[in-house]
Structure 1
Amino acid sequence: MSDDITDIGEDVVGVLAAQIEAHFAMGMDHLKAVVASDPAANPYVTDIVKWHGLLLDAQSALDRAEDDLLAALETQPSEVDDPTMGLAHRVNAAVTARDGRALVVRWLLDPDAPGKTDLAAERLARLRSRTGPAVPTSPARRTAGVPAPAVARAGRALR
């Protein structure tokens, strides 16, 4: 793989890692250890560490896809065959995945990002603070002496 292409990917991951480290004033290894010890302690840090890990995975997949494509191109005559085009599409998909994950990390780091300060963000924050489901997840138990509601009886009669 050419050094220029490799450097771009490493720059994306490296720049974001540096931003995360500056934001929390600690290294990625320490952040990962903090999250591993108690993931529920700070969901914000847990989300950033999780998405940074996904970004690293995506960058590794992109590196492998680029290596496979370059190896195939070295053996190709002037025209590219279908399997090699498939590898090119795999590279494009890997770039998209890596860039998407990088955008998520950037969004998580930006306190003024769209969607973080509006009404929907406030509602989401309230939902996250709940410890259980918003509504019961199982139907209420009926005692033997209580008849079924009229709506339920009417629905059974229609069958």
Structure 2
Amino acid sequence: MSDDISDDIEDVVGVLTTRIEAHFGMGMDQLKATVAGAPTANRGATDVVKWHGLLAECQRGVERAEDALLAALETQPSEVDDPTMDLAHRVSAAVATRDRRALVVRWLLDSDAPGKKDLAAERLARLNRGARTGPAVQTSAPHRPAAVPPSAPSTGRAAQR
């Protein structure tokens, strides 16, 4: 993780929202509205808005799971029971999912991220394939020998009768 995220892990969504706003030069609400109005105009912006929404949704899930765990822990005696351990595992899974989504958002914002250069080159190659000047394979019919004229004597079995 980058330093700005590890320093303030409790507000992953806030840190990434700030980075998104700086990257696109507009607030999140304006970016969402822009993407909603023209979703194919900027694929990068569309992807970032989508994944930011997934990240924010996951963060709300983390908070709900943490609240449930804290409520269960307040009622526990000295030993934690199985249902409370299940809540702890749910918190852990929610945090892991949130962190994976945060990594996707960070990757989308980083133009130098591993795989981005290859991905851009692949997209460019796909676009350039449509700009060929000639066919990739021969499209004309192959040359066939001329047919035998009907007046020529046949040499098959039926001719011997």
CA distance in 1, matches of 2:99, 2:15: 13
Q: Which has the larger radius of gyration?
A: 2
Query: What's the % identity of the aligned pairs?
Result: 69
Structure 1 gaps, min length 5: 1-6, 131-159
* Structure 1, 37-46 or 96-105: larger mean CA deviation: 37-46
Question: Displacement of 1:125 after TM fit?
Answer: 5.2
Structure 1 residue 24, shift from structure 2 partner: 0.7
Aligned counterpart, 1:60: 60
Please name the residue that 1:86 is paired with: 86
Unpaired runs of 5+ in structure 2?
A: 1-7, 130-161
TM-score (normalizing by structure 1): 0.71
How far the C-alpha of 1:124 sits from its partner, in A, is 4.6
Deviation at 1:8, TM superposition (A): 3.5
User: What one-letter code is carried by the residue in structure 2 that aligns with 1:39?
Assistant: P
Aligned to 1:122: 121
Q: Distance in 1 between matches of 2:107 and 2:17?
A: 14
CA RMSD of aligned residues (A): 2.1
How many residues were matched structurally?
A: 123
Are residue 39 (structure 1) and residue 39 (structure 2) matched? yes
Q: What residue number does 2:111 align with? A: 111
- Secondary structure at the counterpart of residue 107 of structure 1: helix
4+ aligned runs moved over 4 Å, structure 1:
124-130
- CA distance in structure 2 between the partners assigned to 1:128 and 1:42 by the alignment: 16
Normalising by structure 2, report the TM-score.
0.70
Q: Does 1:30 align with 2:23?
A: no
Take 2:102 and 2:109, find their aligned partners in 1: how far apart are those partners?
11
